[in-house]
Structure 1
Amino acid sequence: MTRQPKYSRSPSPSAVGMPVLGRRSVLRGMLAAGAVTALPSLTACGGGSGGGDTTTLSFGSNETGSVFAEQRQAMADAFTEASGTDVALNAVDHNTFQENISTYLQGNADDVFTWFAGYRMRFFAEQGLIGDVSDVWPLEGVPDSFKQASTGNDGKQYFVPQQYYPWAVFYRKSVFEENGYTVPTTLDQLVDLCEGMRDDGLVPFAFGDKDGWPAMGTFDMINMRVNGFDFHIRLMSGEEAWNGPEVKAVFETWRDLMPFHQTDSLGRTWQEAAQTLQRRESGLYVLGTFLNEQFPDDEDDLDLFTFPEIDPAIGATAIDAPIDGFCMSADPDNPEAAREFLAFLASAEAAAAAETTGLPFISASDTADTSGYSALQKKSAELVGQAEHIAQFLDRDTRPDFASTVIIPSLQAFISDPDDIDDLVESIESQKQSIFVD
């Protein structure tokens, strides 16, 4: 049976992932996830006012009434058990949290709260609305690529990562074995593989962009291979021109690969595209590891590789791996406890507490116990661990309004007519100029 969750934008790691097959026993007897009360609005429990209750740490969470809320409570309980500091969880439903985040941060934000790495973190850091947590770093077991994703424009850290999932090129191991295919490491090898798959009656790339955001992953991959990670981040931040030769080269490369993609993709959801990979009708799929939702009975046949190198001078060391984690209020009531809690949230102990809830989870810390991970989880962790640079996915690395009102329709226009690149990039740049204003 297939599962079809609906996402209006790229899904959060806390909403998708690989189920953990085994649960930790080390904390099972110690933890009891408390009931989480949904609050009617995004109001802190007392953090951020500079003069509240300093014996209790307030913890803002963007999930209610689900296993994800239980996970946050379990981690809070584990921290209390270890430190003696009480943690008051302020759980608000996801949409309310997202829609009111600016007001929340400008008002009475909790000492620690859930948020995202990348542009969405840097945006509020630059406004002075979240706290500098550089002194929490380095974090044991958390690689430098995650630190880079946690760093603001001023070079300071404002974020602590906890979990993630990578985007990659997925395939069925059995299809590769039956046809003698090998994993490509260069663009030429990828094209040869696609031609071979087409000759064998397969559609090389499954592709579905009905929801608008899946195609962003392909753009990200190609841009980071053609122009490099630094250019990609500057482009997402509005600092590079969309109508320059660099971005044109991205669309030209993608145009050359488009004949290997499923046609009529704008009428197909990512789940429907994934099902063609599941049925062995297509051979490859660029997506996040939540793809496994469409393989409930044969996930073990799924494997992945990083998008191949295009320019040898740039290589293939940058990937998309959206990261969920935590920030600190700009003015926490309990700054010392907040920093201790943040360090704990990135630890193997917090990962163990989270997994007592059975949450889909890949820890940002390579010291976390992975004995219960599936083969796909382990391969995902290995892929991210080898990456030198981690992007957060297009709609997290740029302004949300730019991603939704400009990039989604522009990429869908490109998919419909991949030959009209000049007009496309001129249109994107013109609209960018009206959105990225000082």
Structure 2
Amino acid sequence: MTLHSRSLRTAAGPSRRTVLHGLFGVGAAALAVPALAACGAGGGSDPKTVTFGSNGGDATPKKAYAAVTDAFRKDSSLTVKTNVVDHDTFQKSISTYLQGTPDDVFTWFAGYRMQYFAKKGLATPIDDVWAKIGAGYSDATKQLSKGEDGKYYFVPLYNYPWAVFYRKSVFRQHGYQVPTNWSQFVALAKQMKKDGLAPIASGYGGGDSWSILGAFDYLNLRANGYDFHMSLMRGQAAWTDARAAKTIDLWRELAPYYQANGGGRSWQDAAQSLLDKKSGMAIIGLFLGQQVTEESLRSDIDFFPFPEIDPTYGQDTVEAPTDGFMLSRRPKNPDGATKFLEFLGSAKAEGIYMGIDPSNVAVNSGADKGSYNALQKKAADLIAGAKHITQFGDRDSDPGFISTVVEPGFTEWLNHPDDGSALLKKIESQRSRFFTA
């Protein structure tokens, strides 16, 4: 996808978020799209050809992938036959696609979404690939690339962090200081409101309800830690747990400082309000930079990690959705596909991609960062220093559960924040429909 799963690139980003609940088996057949389902047919039996199913249908990722596959051809003398499908279609058809005749290698997402298909036997373990590329990745990234059986199934390409973004000139003008803990954060929001700013940009209207998950995720991670958050996302912990209630209490404390009428605004409009100096902060991903074309404006944008709430957990976790590649269950050219994945996981390949698409950061520690702008450099450092990396609410959990239960519940609650008890009971009542013991 190219940018936060739903990334914001209407084709490569927002889609990440637009994964229908049928994706993981609910109505999968109904979502079949011939263009994707048939893309693996033909060409794969040629030992000199590797087939590649790509969701990079937008101009920028399409160009970037073309540069990467061309470089691989020159290095290996193997040809990559790329089947490009728009991001939304790819995601909506993925289940049927993988059960049919998929390409040898295909684009997908790390974490839960990868593990789901690995567990279903719809992907091939690639431990041999990781024996070659492993030195370039952090322990947190390695964990994201493993299935529940401990084997590797995923090769990362890029990621991008979520954080609290702001404009430097606004902070200078008002004398604001970057907060590092919860009390400072709330105090800053309160002061911004007094100064006539909408403290926190907000836009979750239409299909953008996913955008509010960033705040919930960070509140839960900072208050209750990585282990509980992931248990909640995986359906292993009850939403009526006192720790979840604590997260809602914190959110209610922050809610008065959200930009008014967020339900009638897109995430792009909310981000623009930050750029226009109408909002003081935005809890959003690095893809915010996609809306910036002037370097003078880009240089005025900065971010800080979501503040600490409980010192026990500090700021040890960073939300950094990670996109990359997987090997299909029965690749027609397994040797060629393995070589291709080894190349895709190399610092060289990541450098080539990032040289064309600057809205993300490379995951391989050896990738060339010489062309990075200041935001990319800071983003890379933030991710590199994380003890844990999460993938965002709708990537770390069943997307059907998130899109049909959690997101609607959160958006309704944000319109009239209360103690959240009814909200949490409602969500908990649906948990067993999506998760089995």
- TM-score category of the 2 structures, normalised to the smaller one: 0.7 to 0.9
For residues 310 and 142 of structure 2, what CA distance do their matches in structure 1 show?
26
**What is the identity, as a one-letter code, of the residue corresponding to 2:266?**
T
For residues 318 and 287 of structure 2, what CA distance do their matches in structure 1 show?
16
Q: Would the aligned equivalents of 2:287 and 2:359 in 1 still touch at CA under 8 Å?
A: no
For residues 8 and 135 of structure 1, what CA distance do their matches in structure 2 show?
27
Which residue in the other structure is 1:175 paired with?
170
Which residue in the other structure is 2:141 paired with?
146
The counterpart of 1:108, out of the listed 90, 97, 101, is 101
**What is the identity, as a one-letter code, of the residue corresponding to 1:244?**
D
Distance change >3 Å, CA 99–CA 281, structure 1 → 2: closer
Distance change >3 Å, CA 237–CA 88, structure 1 → 2: same
**Structure 1 residue 370, shift from structure 2 partner:** 1.6
**What is the identity, as a one-letter code, of the residue corresponding to 2:428?**
E
**Residue 271 (structure 1) aligned with residue 264 (structure 2):** no
**Structure 1 residue 54, shift from structure 2 partner:** 3.0
Which residue in the other structure is 2:20 paired with?
none
**Residue 281 (structure 1) aligned with residue 278 (structure 2):** yes
TM-score normalised according to structure 1 size: 0.87
**What is the identity, as a one-letter code, of the residue corresponding to 2:312?**
A
Distance change >3 Å, CA 296–CA 311, structure 1 → 2: same
Which residue in the other structure is 2:391 paired with?
392
For residues 348 and 398 of structure 2, what CA distance do their matches in structure 1 show?
34
**Structure 1 residue 161, shift from structure 2 partner:** 0.5
Pairing 1:193-232 to 2, within 5 Å after superposition = 193-210=188-205, 211-232=208-229
**Residue 86 (structure 1) aligned with residue 79 (structure 2):** yes
The counterpart of 1:99, out of the listed 92, 96, 108, is 92
Measured against aligned partners, the alpha-carbon deviations of 1:108-151 in whole angstroms (never above 9, x if no partner) come to: 22221111111110111111111111232253432222112112
Residue-pair matches, total = 410
**What is the identity, as a one-letter code, of the residue corresponding to 1:381?**
A
**Structure 1 residue 14, shift from structure 2 partner:** 8.1
Q: Would the aligned equivalents of 1:170 and 1:285 in 2 still touch at CA under 8 Å?
A: yes
Measured against aligned partners, the alpha-carbon deviations of 1:40-69 in whole angstroms (never above 9, x if no partner) come to: 3422445899xx333322211123473322
Q: Would the aligned equivalents of 1:120 and 1:396 in 2 still touch at CA under 8 Å?
A: yes
Distance change >3 Å, CA 66–CA 200, structure 1 → 2: closer
For residues 232 and 340 of structure 1, what CA distance do their matches in structure 2 show?
36
Which residue in the other structure is 1:30 paired with?
none
For residues 327 and 412 of structure 1, what CA distance do their matches in structure 2 show?
34
Any gaps of 5 or more consecutive residues in structure 1? 1-6, 18-37
**Structure 1 residue 100, shift from structure 2 partner:** 2.0
SS in 1 for 2:83: strand
Which residue in the other structure is 1:187 paired with?
182
**Residue 306 (structure 1) aligned with residue 305 (structure 2):** yes
Pairing 1:47-86 to 2, within 5 Å after superposition = 52-64=45-57, 66-86=59-79
SS in 2 for 1:40: helix
For residues 403 and 361 of structure 2, what CA distance do their matches in structure 1 show?
28
State which drifts further: 207-216 or 289-298. 289-298
**Structure 1 residue 16, shift from structure 2 partner:** 5.4
**Residue 252 (structure 1) aligned with residue 249 (structure 2):** yes
Any gaps of 5 or more consecutive residues in structure 2? 15-32
Distance change >3 Å, CA 14–CA 271, structure 1 → 2: closer
**Residue 262 (structure 1) aligned with residue 259 (structure 2):** yes
SS in 2 for 1:170: strand
Which residue in the other structure is 1:331 paired with?
330
Q: Would the aligned equivalents of 1:414 and 1:424 in 2 still touch at CA under 8 Å?
A: yes
Give the structure with the larger helix fraction. Answer: 2
**What is the identity, as a one-letter code, of the residue corresponding to 1:285?**
A
TM-score normalised according to structure 2 size: 0.87
For residues 71 and 241 of structure 1, what CA distance do their matches in structure 2 show?
42
Pairing 1:224-243 to 2, within 5 Å after superposition = 224-243=221-240
Q: Would the aligned equivalents of 1:139 and 1:343 in 2 still touch at CA under 8 Å?
A: no
SS in 2 for 1:162: strand
Which residue in the other structure is 1:402 paired with?
401
For residues 300 and 315 of structure 1, what CA distance do their matches in structure 2 show?
28
Measured against aligned partners, the alpha-carbon deviations of 1:315-367 in whole angstroms (never above 9, x if no partner) come to: 11112111110001122233233222112112221133325645644211222
Distance change >3 Å, CA 99–CA 318, structure 1 → 2: same
Measured against aligned partners, the alpha-carbon deviations of 1:233-258 in whole angstroms (never above 9, x if no partner) come to: 22111111111111111101110111
For residues 360 and 295 of structure 1, what CA distance do their matches in structure 2 show?
11
Distance change >3 Å, CA 47–CA 399, structure 1 → 2: farther
Q: Would the aligned equivalents of 1:113 and 1:328 in 2 still touch at CA under 8 Å?
A: yes
For residues 356 and 313 of structure 1, what CA distance do their matches in structure 2 show?
39
Which residue in the other structure is 1:373 paired with?
372
For residues 329 and 312 of structure 1, what CA distance do their matches in structure 2 show?
43
Measured against aligned partners, the alpha-carbon deviations of 1:377-430 in whole angstroms (never above 9, x if no partner) come to: 111111111111111111111112111111111111110121141111000011
The counterpart of 1:159, out of the listed 137, 146, 154, is 154
**What is the identity, as a one-letter code, of the residue corresponding to 1:280?**
K
Which residue in the other structure is 1:414 paired with?
413
Distance change >3 Å, CA 13–CA 166, structure 1 → 2: farther
For residues 175 and 268 of structure 1, what CA distance do their matches in structure 2 show?
22
State which drifts further: 420-429 or 86-95. 86-95
Sequence identity of aligned pairs in percent?
Answer: 46
The counterpart of 1:132, out of the listed 114, 125, 136, is 125
For residues 13 and 185 of structure 1, what CA distance do their matches in structure 2 show?
32
Distance change >3 Å, CA 48–CA 140, structure 1 → 2: farther
Distance change >3 Å, CA 81–CA 13, structure 1 → 2: farther
**Structure 1 residue 179, shift from structure 2 partner:** 2.3
